[in-house]
Amino acid sequence: METTIIIIVAVVLVLSVAIKAIFFPPKFPESKTFKCARCAKISTHSDRTVEAWRRGFTKLYCSSCHQKWLQSQPQVKPSGGGCVSVLFIAALLPSAIIGFLKWIV
Ligand SMILES: [Zn+2]
């Protein structure tokens, strides 16, 4: 029963994202540059920072700071990836459902 609900919610979420992508093309930041939140360097947006900006991140990092950050992160083993993503989805689902309902209404 719970699995059915999860599948329905997942399908609805995927559909809403697809519909939104078709009818509402992705936005771009007004400025082509941003100030790095770590080293305060003015950098031009890349696909990565634009994507982060769309997701609502206010702190953007230049590519060199991003690389340093990546290197400082412990390597995620592929075997644990599935479990982490399930937890991630479980944590995001409530806010995603609320966002979807707001968007529909
Ligand atoms: Zn930086």
Distance 60 CA to ligand 1 centre (A): 8
Distance 36 CA to ligand 1 centre (A): 5
Residue 96 located in a structural domain:
no
Number of domains the chain is built from: 1
Specify the pLDDT at position 64: 96
Distance 43 CA to ligand 1 centre (A): 8
- Model pTM score: 0.48
Residue 14 located in a structural domain:
yes
Residue 55 located in a structural domain:
yes
Q: Which residue pairs from 34-37 have beta carbons closer than 8 angstroms and sit at least 24 positions apart in sequence?
A: 34/60, 35/60, 36/60, 36/61, 36/62, 36/65, 37/61, 37/65
Give 31-59 as a DSSP string: SSEEE-TTT--EEE--HHHHHHHHTT---
Distance 66 CA to ligand 1 centre (A): 7
Helices 2-23 and 78-104, packing angle to 10 deg:
70
Q: Which domain holds residue 60?
A: 2-74
Among 40, 15, 8, 27, which residue's Cα sits nearest to residue 104?
15
Distance 84 CA to ligand 1 centre (A): 28
Residue 46 located in a structural domain:
yes
Residue 41 located in a structural domain:
yes
Distance 55 CA to ligand 1 centre (A): 19
Q: What are 11-40's pLDDT values in tens digits?
A: 999 998 888 888 877 788 999 999 999 999
With a pLDDT cut of 90, the percent of the chain lying above it is: 42
